[in-house]
């Protein structure tokens, strides 16, 4: 006879080991990569703005930075609890 007051693992956690957060680890990796691209894009934008580069190079790095910011916000909104 089963005990209705006994806590058991849910079926979604049945095959997982404790501490195995692979989906969460993937989200963390994406977030770190986006932050890194934002920082590198902003630094490249600043460097090309003051250097002897064509203005379109600076604009391209600026657009890359803005795109990464938008992706980071979308990622946050999609994965928040």
pLDDT at 74 over 70: yes
pTM recorded for the entire structure: 0.68
Q: 8-61, pLDDT tens digit by residue?
A: 665 555 555 555 557 778 889 999 999 999 999 999 999 999 989 999 999 999
pLDDT at 9: 62
Q: Taking Cα atoms as reference points, which of 27, 48, 28, 41 lies closest to residue 69?
A: 41
Residue keyed to tokens 């501490």? 19
Residue keyed to tokens 């680890």? 25
d(CA 38, CA 8): 43
């Amino acid at each position: 006879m089963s005990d209705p007051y006994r806590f058991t693992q849910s079926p979604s956690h049945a095959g997982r080991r404790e501490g195995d957060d692979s989906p969460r680890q993937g989200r963390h990796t994406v977030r770190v990569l986006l932050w890194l691209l934002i920082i590198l894009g902003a630094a490249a934008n600043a460097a090309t703005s003051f250097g002897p580069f064509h203005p379109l190079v600076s604009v391209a790095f600026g657009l890359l930075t803005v795109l990464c910011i938008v992706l980071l916000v979308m990622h946050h909104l999609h994965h928040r609890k």
